[in-house]
Structure formats: structure tokens, C-alpha cells
Structure 1
Amino acid sequence: MTSVPLEELDDAALLAAHVAGDAAAFGVLFTRHRERLWAVALRTMGNPEDAADGLQDALVAAFRRAGSFRGEAQVTTWLHRVVVNACLDRLRAAKVRRAEALPEDLEDRGLTLVGPAGTDASPDDGDPALASVRRERRDQVVAALRTLPPEQRAALVLVDLEGHSVAEAAAVLECAEGTVKSRCSRGRARLAPLLAPLMQSEDVGDPAPAAGNRPAGGHVGSATPPRGPPAG
């Protein structure tokens, strides 16, 4: 046990304190990274119900397997790996992709078509017609992501939406960097025809997402996805 307040410990020290028997340490660690872990689970699973189940599976696994952490990677990388693996396990077990309702609290960071809690992210959010168009476009992007094989979806979520580097994504997915690049490339190629109508509507003058956030080019979202936890 440690006399230092848990909130002042770094991630590795919190995990070590949990392994040593501190009953509160893991909760502090999870709370610290909750928003990012939830975002990864939500985008990978595609709906809040399955994301909650996947995240719960991951937290149970991380809680029980904390003693296996050897410090080869950052604790956050390890946590992301556990969450992604738990979500992929559920996706593989389901073997069927369903078209569930879009979660209202999805933060399309990197897409920025709709803001937090289902609010419109543009300065024209007082216009119901514009808000409807933006919601429809968000639906199209998220529905397109759901059509990808789990491994491609996970790679795109980490690189294009969460803003991880290829190296970081490779560490999370426990595969070679070339594999991550290949999965992202194939995923973007599969998304391109699905998102073509959305981009064509922008080209003829329909209300468009914020500059730099069109789902075109090298990334699903923007050329340089933002970093850091999603806004609450």
C-alpha cells in the first residue's frame, strides 16, 4: 500500500497498487481513462448496448489480469488492447452485423458531423434542416463503418478516429505496423463507395461538415485527427 493519494500516482503505480491489494486503485485508473476507453468500445461495437458489454468484459479481464502487465508498453496501450480484444471477441462471436439505432451520445471526433450528446457541432445548430442533414450524414458514416470486418474497423477506429499513430495502433492490436496500414487501406477503400453519395451532395452545395472533416482522402475523418479524450 502507499501513503500517496491514489489520484497523484501515475498509471503504472496505480496498476501496481491494485495488484498489491489496494481496493480503490483500479477504480481510479479506470476513471482516469474512462472516456477514451468508452469511445473505443462504442466506435468498435457500433452501438451503446454492445459497447457497454464489451467494455465490461474488458474491465473484468483487466482487473483479473493486471498482474500479467510487465511494463513493455504504456498502461494506456495495454488498457486499449484489452478493450479492443474484448470488443473483437464479441464481434466475431456475433458473426452478424446488425443495423442498430445510432447512439445519441456518439462523439464523431475526426468526423465532427454531430457534436456530443447528439447536438449539432456547427454554428448553424439553430437550423433544424441543417441539423437533420448533419445527422443523416453521421448515420451514413457510422453505418458504413459497421460494414467493415472487425479487424479493419478496429484499425480505422484507432488510427482515423482516435488519432493513434500506426505504431501505437500496432501495439494495441498486437500486430505489425504493416498490418495496420494494410487494414486501414483496405477499410478506406471499402468505405469510399459507401460514402461517395455523401461527398457528392457536398460538392453540389449542400450544407457541409466543418472544413477538413470530410470523410475523404487518406483518413475516414480528417487528415490530422485530433488527439486526447473526447469532450464530455
Structure 2
Amino acid sequence: MSARYEPTDAALLAAHVAGDDRAFSTLAERHFDRMWNVAMRVMGNREDAKDALQDAMISAFRRAADFRGDAAVTTWLHRIVLNACLDRLRRLRSRRADPLPDDLDRSMRFASTADPETAAVQRDLAADVAGALEQLGADQRAALVLVDLEGYKIEEAARILGCAPGTVKSRCSRGRAKIAVLLRGWRED
């Protein structure tokens, strides 16, 4: 039985640049879930996340030839998604965001459906966490989304954000402190 060949991300990007019509869509499909999660968590609502992700994919499609290979293709893609989100947030700053994203937190998938009261409490907590995230500045929110929600290591998040690892650590620390204050009622309950 022979193993099926799966091209690397770099090979797909190179094939796209060389004119392969399917290579970029294969690459985008491969990483869609994580890019969508980043966009949703940074933007805070489905419509803005869709728009930001679309902007990011168009940008990546057009700028593929500029990829230097200094980082992994996934890091490059996530950086483009994050930049598109931050650009969109700047443009939307004067517009009030929708209160909560539709798919608040992956942890909700693990909520117990056997106990409706527990599930309701978990939904309320997820909604409050999402609301607290929306109150953070874009830099702190992006760092927390990458490190705490998406599970990136500090160094990888620093590459995606284009800053030093110490900066990511401090943004996460300050963001967590603000969220702790905003969610202190949960600890008291």
C-alpha cells in the first residue's frame, strides 16, 4: 500500500506562483480552520471576520511571490490574516461591534449536554470572556488569541505579530490582568 503524496505548504505556494490554478486553494483549505478561528476571535463577529479573512486571502494570493521563506508558510498566512483583522478593526473603530461572535469558543464543543444548567453556565462564561476580549486593545487581543486560544508558543506568536517574544509576553500578561478584572464576578460566584 503506497502512501498518498501530500505537498508541503511551501511546495503549494511555489506551485501557485508558477501558475498552478489549484495550489493556492489547496493551501487555503488546509489552513482555513485556524485562520478562521484567529479572524473570529480578533474581529469578534462573523461578518467582520469573513470580510477580514477574505481580504487576507486576496492579499496572500497576490503577494505569494513575495514570500521569502524566512518563516513557515502558516506563520506567513496567519500574519496576513492578523494584519487584515487589525486593518479592519482600525477602519471600524468608530462603528460599534456586534456584541458576541457566533462560535464563541471551541471549548463550548466540550460542554456537557447532559446537564443543561452546566451548559448554560459555560455559555454565559464564554460570552463574558468574548465580551472581555473585545474590551482589550487590538495588540493585546491578538496576542491572547494566538497564545491562549490558538495555542501558539510565545516565539511563534512573536513571529506572526512581528514583534519580540518579550512584547508578546507583556501583552498577554496585561491582557490577562484586564480580563481578570472584567471577569472578577465569575470568581466570586
Task: Flag whether TM exceeds 0.5 (same fold).
Answer: yes
RMSD over aligned Cα atoms: 1.6
- CA distance in 1 between counterparts of 2:73 and 2:117 reads 44
* 1:209-231 C-alpha deviation (Å, 9 max, x unpaired): xxxxxxxxxxxxxxxxxxxxxxx
Q: How much does 1:27 deviate?
A: 0.2
TM-score (norm 2): 0.93
Q: 1:31: which partner in 2?
A: 29
2:144 alignment partner in structure 1? 156
- Deviation of 1:184 after TM superposition, in Å, equals 0.9
More helix by share: 2
What's the counterpart of residue 111 of structure 2?
122
Classify 1:99/1:64 alpha carbon distance in 2 versus 1 (closer, same or farther; 3 Å): closer
TM-score between the two structures when normalised by the length of structure 1 = 0.76
Equivalences, count: 186
Letter of the structure 2 residue corresponding to residue 61 of structure 1: S
Tell me if the contact between 2:52 and 2:84 (Cα under 8 Å) persists in the aligned partners: yes
CA distance in 2 between partners of 1:99 and 1:31 (Å)? 28
Return the offset for 1:130.
2.5
Gaps of 5+ in 2: none
Equivalent in 85, 97, 100 of residue 98 of structure 2: 100
Counterpart residue type for residue 187 of structure 1: G
Take 2:129 and 2:166, find their aligned partners in 1: how far apart are those partners?
25
**Match among 10, 14, 17 for residue 15 of structure 2:** 17
Conserved 8 A contact 1:97-1:146: no
Overall identity of the aligned pairs, in %: 59
Matched, 1:142 2:130: yes
* Larger mean Cα displacement after TM superposition, 69-78 or 96-105: 96-105
Partner SS, residue 8 of structure 1: coil
Q: Deviations over 1:20-61 (max 9, x none)?
A: 011110000000011000000000101111000000000000
CA–CA distance in structure 2, aligned partners of residues 149 and 17 of structure 1: 38
Which residue, 171, 181, 187 being the options, matches 2:169? 181
Name 2:61's counterpart in structure 1: 63
- 1:190 Cα offset (Å): 1.0
